[in-house]
Structure 1
Amino acid sequence: MPDSGLSPLQSSLPAAAARFGPHALTHATGVEAAAATLPALPALPSVPLPAAGAVPVAVSVPDNAPGGDLIAPHVREGAAAARQPSPALDRILRGPTGLGTSGLYPGPREESPAPPAPEAPVEGKPIPGLYYHPVPEPDPARVEEVGRRIKDWAVDEVELYPEDWEGQFDGFSVGRYMVACHPDAPTVDHLMIATRLMVAENAVDDYYCEDHGGSPIGLGGRLLLAHTALDPLHTTKEYQPQWAQSLHADAPRRAYHSAMQYFVQQATPSQADRFRHDMARLHLGYLAEGAWAQTDHTPEVWEYLVMRQFNNFRPCPTITDTVGGYELPADLHAQPAMQRVLALAGNVSTIVNDLYSYTKELAAPGRHLNLPVVIAEREGIADRDAYLKAVEVHNDLMHDFEAEAAALAAACPVPSVLRFLRGVAVWVDGNHYWHQTNTYRYSLPDFW
């Protein structure tokens, strides 16, 4: 059997580091080679970043470490910069802001089918007092192409939705969502990796948990079988065919299986395993919320935030490197500082959803937990005050996310780390953009 060769996506470093500091950076030639494939990044020291009590990541590089004469000064300067305001770090984290957006693209990027149309006014109103960053309007040609392809996949390839759901599917505007969140995707094919997974994840939520037939009763069994579409079963020859047949038994499993098959064709094994882990976290959060629904339990605010750290958007920004066509090495991704950044990114993105979907959920059948509802009930305050307090919670999380990402960028200025942090920050901003502009789904409460 011929050798299939390397994965299409190659790591930007020759070897992942066991920990930050000298071990992350001793492969100086590898770092230089990786840097050669990236646009020039701004120097780390020097402008204000909206810090909120950032705790710098301590990095110690012995003077006699291999390559220390080359790397150590930069690490020390970066660590010092984490304690001081830095506009360069702000630029790294903020991502596209109009002019110079092309700097996000480290390699050849396919041409759009047609020149982008002039920017239209942004739809929807942002939540007053919410801390967020505007993003450029996503490339309309890419939005249209992703929208066309994902509908073909959902309707014809996996038969995910019945015909009478077409309006809701169109109203989701998933093409605009994914193009806004992944402006550094080199091709539409890369964008489709994220788009299929996003649609499949929402289908599981709709069919298993929410209004389109979802129920907390039996949820664990359904999620367990669905998870095997992402994390394949390894069983005996006698029972393997029955499991394989079950993957096509219902729409969510068909979608999960198909989306994952496309994903693993582009991802490295470590990226695929990372994604499976984050999806297990998501399913654990679904189960917690379902258990509370069965017992009619309103959690304490801190308990609700625990649940939201698992039932959240984290699987989406965690694949930003796959969609961008590179890899953040597994050992760098697994570092506690990086895990904290990713957790905060998922948390803040999910609270955005709580805030923008507030009126939609109040109008829906049944009782829906979201942060303003939980704050109002548990802290005994008016709905308006609870909503405004939830905005403050979001803002605190957003400041923490930016401060931790800036500290990590300064402490470990490896090109793949910097690009990944920038990509996660862009995803957070694109997620807000989509919620703000999706007036088909969301409207704001009359609290101002």
Structure 2
Amino acid sequence: MPEPGLSPVRSALPAAAARFGTHILARAHADASAAALAVTGPPHAVAARPEALAAAPPHAVAARPAAVTAPRATGTVPAPPASVPVPGPVAVDAPGPAAAPVPNPALEHLLRGPHGLGTAGLYLTPRQAPSALPESAAPVAGRPIPGLYHHPVPEPDAVRVEEVSRRIKAWALDEVELYPDDWEEEFDGFSVGRYMVACHPDAPTVEHLMLATRLMVAENAVDDCYCEDHGGSPIGLGGRLLLAHTALDPLHTTREYQPQWARSLHADAPRRAYRSAMEYFSQHASPSQVDRFRHDMARLHLGYLAEAAWAQTEHVPEVWEYLAMRQFNNFRPCPTITDTVGGYELPADLHAQPAVQRVIALAGNATTIVNDLYSYTKELASPGRHLNLPVVIAEREGASERDAYLKAIEVHNDLMHDFEGEAAALAATCPVPSMLRFLRGVAVWVDGNHYWHQTNTYRYSLPDFW
């Protein structure tokens, strides 16, 4: 079947591309203007030199709620290499009662989307620079958690959702034999097609979307079959995860034992899914993007093992210990591949910078607490004791269930404000086009992840705390 394009009538992609991530880029605009004024002196008509952007302090971000007072540690990002085009001077006019904010060319460049040699294929429909950023459309299903800081997103493109859903089910059934017949309703209820289309609206083709979708389904299979609902157990988890990880990070052994390892990759559904999903991903990703993903999956598996160890010893961690575990057992592998799914690459030397790593970590931490909050009632109804942030806060801080849940919302909101502040500072200090697009892509993923949790009423329902 030919790969469908976006519906010219129903597609929300052009508008979404202009709108997504603007809550971060607006802060970067403010940071860049403030930095230029700080470096060039009194506010009169001057040209903001590129070094003015590099001098912007990492903590110079838009005002956050008064309750958030903890200082932030930030990494240092070097100035962009000379070979990378950097936006030219920005005229800074004297402020006045009627003066409008001066546009930031770097941010306007990003909002228009990629351009230049080799980028035409990143667009699925002809694009024009928007005259104004449209308002976000409210989702049609589910209700958000009261008090949870988030950004509404438009409904994902229905044509793409249908095609991704069809392809992922065919892959799960025919290629990797992922689940038996009695799991079909649960697989359909996961709504992974809607999830991934919402998280990656700039994917140039459906096949790019499938890269993320296969990996998401494979990761979920490992979690379910090794750790959670479908036969999972903390006992022996380390051995199972190690062997599954070799489907992502191949074993290099002797000729005598290589065939036995190769056969083991087909031994169970999680390993079959990991092997196949990684094979597809490696065909489209650069070697550095592949290795980046492997690293993040090792982090994920380390988090699984920590949680399993606590389950075996019936240990309830301190809140800070739980948050440390959740920095590893979290969604980080998903937003970190946003450039691969978008059809471009954030260079490895930029991706490895401490400031970039902090932004990605904060995004993963915030989105994982979203999961804790939306899955709270589902986990309470499941057999055994499930650790999540409200449960740990209630146990360790002596709070009621309601107060612990509301405290967990505050923790999430603090993480989100830190994520947005750090991303805005990074966009201002390193306005390389690939960096700006990557930061926007991570912000899109954060918003799409919340959208899926909020609207997936098959899986989630809210507690009666309001």
Q: Assess same fold via TM > 0.5.
A: yes
Deviation of residue 355 (structure 1)? 0.2
Instruction: Pick one of 194, 198, 204 that aligns with 1:186.
Output: 204
Distance 2:317 2:102 in 1: 40
Partner of 1:301: 319
Give the partner amino acid of 1:271.
Q
Mapping for residues 306-321 of structure 1, pairs under 5 Å: 306-321=324-339
Partner SS for 2:120: coil
RMSD between aligned alpha carbons? 3.1
Give the partner amino acid of 1:146.
V
Distance 1:120 1:66 in 2: 43
Mapping for residues 4-403 of structure 1, pairs under 5 Å: 44=29, 45=32, 49=62, 51=64, 103=113, 107-108=120-121, 109-110=123-124, 122-403=140-421
Structure 1 residue 446 and structure 2 residue 464: aligned? yes
Distance 2:243 2:77 in 1: 43
Deviation of residue 107 (structure 1)? 3.1
After superposition, the Cα gap between the structure-2 partners of 1:372 and 1:73, relative to the gap in structure 1 and judged at 3 Å, is same
Distance 2:374 2:225 in 1: 22
Deviation of residue 110 (structure 1)? 3.9
After superposition, the Cα gap between the structure-2 partners of 1:289 and 1:156, relative to the gap in structure 1 and judged at 3 Å, is same
User: Contact 1:278 / 1:314 at 8 angstroms: preserved in 2?
Assistant: yes
User: Contact 2:75 / 2:358 at 8 angstroms: preserved in 1?
Assistant: no
Distance 1:127 1:437 in 2: 11
After superposition, the Cα gap between the structure-2 partners of 1:61 and 1:304, relative to the gap in structure 1 and judged at 3 Å, is closer
Distance 1:88 1:183 in 2: 25
User: Contact 1:286 / 1:311 at 8 angstroms: preserved in 2?
Assistant: yes
Structure 1 residue 409 and structure 2 residue 460: aligned? no
Distance 1:136 1:230 in 2: 34
Give the partner amino acid of 1:347.
N
User: Contact 2:138 / 2:153 at 8 angstroms: preserved in 1?
Assistant: no
- TM-score calculated relative to the size of structure 1: 0.80
After superposition, the Cα gap between the structure-2 partners of 1:72 and 1:422, relative to the gap in structure 1 and judged at 3 Å, is closer
Distance 1:349 1:298 in 2: 22
After superposition, the Cα gap between the structure-2 partners of 1:198 and 1:59, relative to the gap in structure 1 and judged at 3 Å, is closer
Give the partner amino acid of 2:403.
D
Distance 1:393 1:443 in 2: 20
Question: Is the deviation greater in 119-128 or in 297-306?
Answer: 119-128
Partner SS for 1:233: coil
Q: Which sections of structure 1, spanning at least 5 residues, go unmatched?
A: 1-40, 78-85, 113-118
Distance 1:344 1:399 in 2: 9
Structure 1 residue 428 and structure 2 residue 446: aligned? yes
Distance 1:279 1:61 in 2: 30
Give the partner amino acid of 1:107.
A
User: Contact 2:372 / 2:389 at 8 angstroms: preserved in 1?
Assistant: yes
Partner of 1:23: none
After superposition, the Cα gap between the structure-2 partners of 1:282 and 1:87, relative to the gap in structure 1 and judged at 3 Å, is farther
Distance 1:206 1:67 in 2: 46
Deviation of residue 103 (structure 1)? 4.3
User: Contact 1:107 / 1:186 at 8 angstroms: preserved in 2?
Assistant: no
Partner SS for 1:264: helix
After superposition, the Cα gap between the structure-2 partners of 1:148 and 1:92, relative to the gap in structure 1 and judged at 3 Å, is farther
1:226-253, CA deviations, whole angstroms, 9 ceiling, x for partnerless residues?
0000000000000000000000000000
Partner of 2:46: none
Partner SS for 2:288: helix
Deviation of residue 104 (structure 1)? 7.4
After superposition, the Cα gap between the structure-2 partners of 1:87 and 1:350, relative to the gap in structure 1 and judged at 3 Å, is farther
- TM-score calculated relative to the size of structure 2: 0.77
Paired residues in the alignment total 384
User: Contact 2:363 / 2:442 at 8 angstroms: preserved in 1?
Assistant: yes
Q: Which sections of structure 2, spanning at least 5 residues, go unmatched?
A: 1-24, 35-60, 93-100, 127-136
Deviation of residue 211 (structure 1)? 1.2
The percentage of aligned residue pairs carrying the same residue is: 78
Deviation of residue 201 (structure 1)? 0.1
Distance 2:228 2:78 in 1: 49
Distance 2:107 2:236 in 1: 45
Partner of 1:9: none
User: Contact 1:61 / 1:72 at 8 angstroms: preserved in 2?
Assistant: no
User: Contact 2:139 / 2:154 at 8 angstroms: preserved in 1?
Assistant: no
